Structures are given as C-alpha cells and as structure tokens.
Amino acid sequence: MRRPRLRYALLAVATLLSASTGVIAPAAEAGVASTDAVRLPVMPSQLAASAACTGGSATVVKAMPWEQQSLQLTRTRQFSTGAGVTVAVVDTGVSIKAPALTGRVTAVGGADEDCVGHGTFVAGLIAAAPVDGVGFSGAAGQAHIVAVRGTDQRGTATDNTVANGIRAAVDAGAQVIEVSPALTRSSSTLHDAVSYAARHGALIVAAAVPDAPRDGTSSAPPPQDYWPAAEPGVLSVVDVDVQGRRPQAAYTPRHTDLAAPGDGVLGIGPSGRGHFIGSGPSFAAGYAAATAALVRSANPGLSAAETARRLITTAYPADIPRLDPYGALTSVPGAYPSRSAQAEAPRLVRLETDEAGTRATRRALVLTGLGIGLILVITWAAVAAPKGRARRWRPAGGKGSTAG
C-alpha cells in the first residue's frame, strides 16, 4: 500500500508542541498551531494509601491529539471500527461514570469502580465515544469493553491479581485482552492463565515494561524480562513519544514486539468530560489492543496468533516496529514476509532513551512544531520504507522469548 502523503506529514507536524509537564497547546483546524497553552492533570498508575481517588478533569481538549494523527485513525474507520469484538482491560477497573464510556462497558465483579483512573484512561483509548467538536475518541470506537480488575484498588498488582484478571477476561468472552501491569517475576499461576487465554483464542496485549520512575531522575535497571509480556504468545508493547523515543529513565525489556504512542498521550478520566495526559507503556498497549480489535473485527477468521503477526509484519520498519493500524487493515497478507522465517540469532533489543530529555518532556503531549520534529515526521510519513521488520513472534506454547 502507499505510504502517508506529504500533506498528512505536514498536518501532523502542525500539531507538535513544546513540552512541559501536563501542558499542551491544541492545534487549530487549519493546521496552524494555537498559542493558547492548556494544562491537564496527569493520570497516575498507582495511588498512595493516603491519596484521594482521581477525580474528573475540568479541561476539554478539542484538537485531535498527535498520537491519533500519527496512527491515522481517521483513515482506519472506513475499514473497521472494532464492531463485534470484546476487549478486556485488566487494570485498576473502568469507571462506568465516565460519560465517554456510557453503555460500552461490562464490568466483572467490582471493576466498575476505578479509584486510580488508569484503567478508565486505557479503556477510553480503545472505545471512548466520539463527541462533537472534540478530536479525541476511541481507536476502536465500536468495540465492547470488559472491565476486569488486575490490581488492588490503589493500583498495586501481583501475579495472582493479574492471572485472575486474565482468566476472568477469557470467561467474559474477550477476544483481545489488554494487560497494563508489568511484573518483575512470573509464576505458574500467571503462566497457566496466559495458556488459558491462548486455548480460548484470546490475544493478550501487554505492557512490555512498568511505567518509568515518576521522579524522572532515577536510573532504570538493566534490560530484563517483565510478565506477562515475556510469556510466549503475548504481544508486548513499549511506549514512545512524538519523536519515536523512549521516555527518560524508561525501563527496558530484553525483547519486545511493537512500539506505539504512549508518552504524553491524551485520554479520559473516571468522571466528567475533561481530559487527562498520561505516559506509560500500558497506554501504548491500549492502542495496540485497539488495533487488534480493528483487525479481528475486519477479519473474523484470523486467530490470535495471526492477528499478532499482522500487527507486527505491517508495522513501520524500525529497531522496534512501530504500530500502524492503517497498514494492518489494508496491507495484503503475505506481501511483506515476516523475519520469523529467517534463521537469525536472537539479539538484545536496547530501546532508545532520550538522555537529554526531562521529566516534563516525558509527560508532554506535543502539539506544535520543533524543527527536528518537522524533519523526522516528514521523513517518516512521506518516504517510509516498505513494512515488514517484524520480531519473531510465535503462539503460546513455544519455548524462549517472543522477540529477538
């Protein structure tokens, strides 16, 4: 298929913005960047024991955020909306008080309440309803959400809470399961839950690493595996910013399958119509899970493994293939052979970190142009090479790592 036109690249550039913590400036409809800064609350992934529950945001951002422009979501909707696909969000719960999710969520147990707000944010990336005059909406707007709690009420996860969440998601009929927690160890309980999902044809899409340290000054540990993302058969995803870079001090997996927007992205809160800004690999996993729902809706006969391969083999070529929903929906299967067929020794994937970045940059939702951003976006969008730089991904049941 043809790559994005230069016109789209220029429009995307017009939405770039100078970074600062929780501050964005929406782009005007004509592609001219607005100078009016908008401050948004930051969505946490966990809450301290004494912290109040996350409330609503008073600020509504009307412009389409950079990540949804870069994913070409306005183009994907002519091919698929996720209709007929159930996506489970294994997270802090999904609030049924969020107006954008009214009528779109079925909750398991007490997962219809979300004190942290994180699970609601992820669910909104997948299936938030469109609102007149607002550019943000769910990437798979007609998918149905199953809310499953994979943490305690403050956002702390264990192998048992995640495993129970995965099993509950499968039993609720989910075809795609987004898992936000990334744990430093696995267990037989968690492994068995992943196998249970595979046997029932559900594709697990998981954050490859935990969120970066919140203070922005801590040193990340050496590359290591995190679970359930490191389990065979799980599609693992890392987060990148508008320039395709990892956040400062971000954790690094030994291997991963995809990169997707997740650093400084726009989303909804657990109540009200206002927006939050969020950063973390779980938000990237949310966009990848939404894309899997689009693909499975448009191609009901695809298995979980085939859906994962479709996302990887149609991704933009890079050290970590970049998620491309439009390509996943429109590329001819088999046109770009996967590297899985090549006899290539596994190698360590070291993800790029912006060492010169600041914590403010990590949380920014960039919407106006910087010179380097202009060059990068035009080069990427207008002259990108054919897709197909896929990691070696195989269904659950294989041995070893899922990517190399």
**Residue pLDDT, tens place only, 76-117:** 999 999 999 999 999 999 999 999 999 999 999 999 999 999
Burial of 39-71, coded b for 16+ CB within 10 Å and e otherwise, reads ebbebbbbbeeeeeebebbebbbbbbbbbbbbb
**Spans of the chain, pLDDT less than 70:** 1-37, 214-218, 332-404
For the record, the structure tokens of 162 come out as: 């995640």
Q: What are the DSSP calls for 319-357, one per residue? A: SSPBP-HHHHHHSPTTSS--GGGS-------PPPB-TT-
Q: What is the pLDDT of residues 209-262, one digit of tens each?
A: 999 876 655 677 899 999 999 999 999 999 999 999 998 889 999 999 999 999
Homologous superfamily (CATH) of 51-357 is: Peptidase S8/S53 domain (3.40.50.200)
Residue type, 325: P
Tokens of 191: 């492994």
pTM of the shown model:
0.79
Residue 244 is encoded by which pair of tokens? 């395709």
- Collapsed DSSP state (helix, strand, coil) of residue 275: strand
State the Cα–Cα distance between residues 356 and 319, nearest whole angstrom. Answer: 20
Instruction: Give domain limits for the chain.
Output: 51-357
Those residues whose C-beta lies under 8 Å from the C-beta of residue 106, and which sit 6 or more positions away, are 144, 145, 146, 147, 172
Can you state the angle between helices 188-199 and 159-171, rounded to 10 degrees? 20
Give residue for tokens 């041995």: 399
Q: Which amino acid is at 379?
A: T
* Strand, helix or coil for residue 179: strand
Q: What is the pLDDT of residue 25?
A: 43
State the pLDDT at residue 331.
87
Q: Are 248 and 216 in contact (CB under 8 A)?
A: yes
> Which pLDDT score, from 0 to 100, does residue 327 have?
97
Tokens standing for residue 287:
């966009």
